[in-house]
Structure 1
Amino acid sequence: MFAIIETGGKQYKVQNDDVIFVEKLAAEDNTTVDFKVLAVETDDGLKVGTPYVEGSSVQGKVLKSGKGKKINIWTYKAKKHESRRMGHRQPYTKVQIEAINA
C-alpha cells in the first residue's frame, strides 16, 4: 500500500515506516502531523482524488527539524571588478510515516 501526499508545494510517494525530508513544518519534535492525500493505492485498486481523496489521511511523526548542507553561490560581473559570495541552508523537517488510512 502506498500513497501520494502533498506538503510544501511538493508531492511525495510514501509507504508505512518511510522516512522523508520535507519543507519545514510548524510542528514540534515527537508530534504527529497529517498530510493531504492526492492518491492512494489499496487492495481494491488506485483511488485518485480531485484534488484530494475524501476520507483518507496519512499520519507522520516528526523526528527532527534542521538545516541542510550549505550551498555556496558566487555572482560575478565581468569587467566591473564586482563579485559577491552568498550562502544558503534550506530548513527541513524529518518525518517518519506511521499510518496510511484509506
Structure 2
Amino acid sequence: MYAIIKHSGKQYKVSLGDELKLDRFEAEEKSSVEITEVLALSDKELKVGAPLLAGAKVVLEVINHGKDRKVVIYKKRRRKDSKLKRGFRRQFTRVRVKEIKG
C-alpha cells in the first residue's frame, strides 16, 4: 500500500513506515501531523484524485528537525574576472509514516 502526497509544492510517494525529509514546518517532536492533500492511493487498485482524493489522509510522526549538508553554488564567467561562490543548508523536518487512511 502506498500513497502520493503533496507537501509544500512537492510530491512524495510514501509507504507505511517510510522516513522522509520534508521542508521544515512548525511541529513538536514526537507529535502527529495529518496530511490531507493525497493525490493518489494504491491498496489493491489505484485510486487517483482530481486533483485530491476526498476523505484520504496520511498520518505522520515528527522525529526531529535539522539542517541538511551544505550545497555549494559556484558561478564563473570566463574571461570576465567574475565569479560568485555561495552555499546554503536546507532546513528539514524528518517524519515517519504511521498510518495511511483511504
Partner of 1:42: 43
Aligned partners of 2:42 and 2:78: how far apart in 1? Answer: 54
TM-score scaled by length of structure 2 = 0.88
* Residue 75 (structure 1) shift: 2.5
Gaps of 5+ in 2: none
* Residue 82 (structure 1) shift: 3.2
Gaps of 5+ in 1: none
Large movers: runs of 4+ above 4 Å: none
TM-score scaled by length of structure 1 = 0.88
Aligned partners of 1:81 and 1:42: how far apart in 2? Answer: 58
Aligned partners of 1:86 and 1:100: how far apart in 2? Answer: 40
Q: Deviations over 1:33-57 (max 9, x none)?
A: 11121111123x2111111111110
The alignment-based identity, stated in percent, is: 35
More displaced stretch, 23-32 vs 87-96: 23-32
2:29 aligned with 1:24, yes or no? Answer: no
Aligned residues: 101
Partner of 1:75: 75
The Cα RMSD (Å) is 1.4
